[in-house]
Structure 1
Amino acid sequence: MVKQQRAARTRRTLMETAAAQFDRDGYAGTSLSQISTEAGISLGALTFHFGSKSELARSVEKEGRSAVEEAVARICASSTPPLRQLVELTLELVRLIEHDDSVRAMLRLERERPGTPQCSSIWLPAVDDLLQRSHASGRLRPSVRPAVMATLVSHLIAGAEAVQRCHRASPAEPVDSAVGQLRHIWQLILPGISASEASHR
């Protein structure tokens, strides 16, 4: 049991170190020896757990996807109105981008490794569904097209990641939290897309 726990801790340390390295330096810019040195774990122990850099990258991607899948499932299971769920979902996705190395690493790796599943395939169907439900229930203005709003949401998520990467490249520059920025953006957007109480009546 102790040996298994130690192996699990080693694997966890390697995963966390690899996620940070892939996020910062990308797939091509990261080597197993760098991860080994940064984690303080021998290269032999690393290759025991992960036979190749590709296998390690897939494990990091899987962890990032799991975090996103959990967030989507949790928020979409709530009983709040669909438009509110949409806002909360985007805020949670951006929170993950801001604070979770595995999610940021997954996003970078999916761009750098051909054939890697896209993270948007996890949350975009939920976004589409929430917008369609909001439209059907009259919570969106009649002029608002759900497909256009889904495109806007995709741009908001991509923009949040871009801002985070710029901030990490120039950490001396002060910047508000990505979640706080997105919350303010939604405060600007919602009055233009939400149906008024009068229209509900």
Structure 2
Amino acid sequence: MARQERAERTRNIILDGAARAFDATGFQGTSLSDIVRESGVTKGALYFHFASKEALAQAIITEQFTVWDPFQDDEEPGVQTVIDLLHNMAESLQKDVRVRAGIRMVIEQGTFEDPDPAPYQRWMDAISRCLTLAQSRGDVLPDVDPEEAAGFIVGCWTGLQLSSQVFTGRADLHRSTTTMWQLLLPGLVPPRRLGRFRPEGSGAAAKANGQPVNGDGRRVNGDGEAPAGPAAD
């Protein structure tokens, strides 16, 4: 057991070092020697855990989807789940080097010998499921195709976080994500139900976005009251 724990610690140290290197200089700009230097391990230890630089990149890409894990237990996944997911991703991109490296590796997959579309597809499938459930409850317009909408949302936010990185180092990513949802929600949600959803996030996502929330996780205004939305039918 002790040997297994040491091996897992070493693997994590290597992933941390690789993430820092990939985040700084990208896949093509990073060598295995750079990763060894960042990790502080021997090249032999690196090769024990990962057969190649591409294997390291794929491991980091796979890991970024743990950001979705807290939302798997959502009792009623739907539109707000997707909104909060993207705000949670924004928070992780600002604070977690592995997530930043994972996103960068997804974008740079065209330089891999065997690019894998699975990361994008997993995002789109998860979002599509949420929107399909929401549509069955009347929270998504009947003429919206959940699969097409999911692809559009992933594409929009991918471009958004890239431009945010270029202009502000992602400092404005929560605000930009809120603006994106303010623009997209009227095309997804029936007008009478728009007030149910918080483009700035709810619960932990709202807190990450710097929004005060009350005990039940709803955003509150400056008077400490949750903003009223249209009555649900």
Provide TM-score, normalisation by structure 2. Answer: 0.66
Q: Between Structure 1 and Structure 2, which shows a larger proportion of helix residues?
A: 1
Deviations 1:146-173 (A, max 9, x none): 4553243122321233135425xx75xx
| Structure 1 ranges of 4+ moved more than 6 A | none
CA distance in 1, matches of 2:141, 2:3: 60
The aligned counterpart of 1:50 is 50
Structure 1 match to 2:180: 185
The corresponding residue for 1:152 is 152
3-state DSSP of counterpart to 2:150: helix
CA separation of 1:147/1:3 partners in 2, compared to 1, >3 Å: closer, same or farther? Answer: closer
Q: CA deviation at 1:182?
A: 0.8
The one-letter code of the counterpart of 1:77 is D
Other-structure match for 2:82: 86
Conserved 8 A contact 2:125-2:150: no
Shift of 1:35: 1.2
TM-score, normalised to structure 1, is 0.74
> Counterpart of 1:56 in 2: which secondary structure?
helix
CA distance in 2, matches of 1:129, 1:58: 25
**Among 186, 190, 194, which residue is 2:189 paired with?**
194
- How far did residue 188 of structure 1 move? 4.2
1:130-169 equivalent positions in 2, closer than 5 A:
130-142=130-142, 144-167=144-167
Mapped partners of 1:158, 1:78: distance in 2 = 24
Deviations 1:42-68 (A, max 9, x none): 333333433432333333233234x24
Q: Please give the alpha-carbon distance, in whole angstroms, between the structure 2 residues aligned to 1:149 and 1:103.
A: 24
1:82-135 CA-to-partner distances (Å, cap 9, x unmatched) read 121221222223333343333333333342323324312222112112222222
Equivalent residue pairs, number: 192
Alpha-carbon distance between aligned partners in 2 of 1:151 and 1:51, rounded to the nearest angstrom: 33
Equivalent residues of 2:124, 2:151 under 8 A apart: no
The question of 1:34 aligning with 2:30 is answered no
Contact in 2 for aligned 1:90/1:153 (Cα 8 Å): no
Identity of aligned pairs, percent?
29
Q: Give the superposition deviation at 1:144.
A: 4.5
Secondary structure in 2 matching 1:119: helix
